[in-house]
Amino acid sequence: MTTNVLLQIFPGHQAAKSLAGLAGLFSLLFMLSGCQAVLTPEQVTLAFWEAMAQGNLESARTHVTQETQHLVTKQQNLEGASLKTGEVVINGPNATVSTSMTLKKPESDKLLSFDTVLLKENDQWKVDYQQTLNNLSILPFGELFKSLRAIGDTINKELEQQIPLFEKQIKSFSEELIKQLDEFRRKLEKSIPPEKQTPHSDTI
């Protein structure tokens, strides 16, 4: 409806009031559409894992917290995986979504069941990828997400085994160094003749 038509129907200030009312209505609709843009924890979970399954890391990172975006890396064993969500538990700014994922690689139709953890960040639900990975790492499903942690544990164990050897080598080195210093001191004392003693004048 144009301004001229409104002026014909509502002459004078009434048209201005109608225009103001329409502007308010449009503002209200805009605000409502903005509220509808907030995704639920379940929607965020689906969007994140579907992006991971498609190898779309840029899209996946938009659905995780800022602190865990650097953890989002390509996972070839997720390619083509199918996803289902179940129970959603919301506790204030925290939420968990029961997630079931059927892998196609490397083993066909391998099922994983875990909780996707989400946090409220700037009034938007985001996946806490660190906590979600922690949930995945305790599941008995082999080497999917545990490989990096297993490598780290192996290195730590090897270092722990080497520490006594390092201590022994350091002790041996210290003892040898002390021995060499003592030998050097003895040689030095032998090479320097004793000072000649001046006779005491006892004569009167």
pLDDT of 72-111, one tens digit each?
998 888 888 889 999 999 999 999 999 998 888 766 678 8
What residue ranges of the chain have pLDDT lower than 50? 1-3, 5-7, 9-10, 13, 15-16, 19, 22, 25-26, 28-30, 32-36, 142-143, 146-148, 151, 197, 204
Beta partners for 95?
A: 90, 118
pLDDT of residue 142: 45
Predicted pLDDT of residue 44: 96
* Amino acid 160: pLDDT: 66
Identify the pLDDT of residue 201.
52
pLDDT at residue number 156: 59
DSSP letters along the chain, please?
Answer: --HHHHHHHSTTHHHHHHHHHHHHHHHHHHHHHHHHTSPPHHHHHHHHHHHHHTT-HHHHHTTB-GGGGGG----GGGTT-EEEEEEEEEETTEEEEEEEEEE-SSSTTEEEEEEEEEEEETTEEEE-HHHHHHHHHTSSS-STTTHHHHHHHHHHHHHHHHHHHHHHHHHHHHHHHHHHHHHHHHHHHHHSPPPPPPPP----
The tally of CA atoms less than 13 A away on the side-chain side of residue 160 is 6
53 vs 103: CA distance, rounded Å: 9
Domain boundaries, the chain: 3-36, 41-145, 146-182
CATH topology of domain 41-145: Nuclear Transport Factor 2; Chain: A, (3.10.450)
Q: What pLDDT does residue 158 have?
A: 64
192 burial (CB, 10 Å; 0-12 / 13-18 / 19+) is: exposed
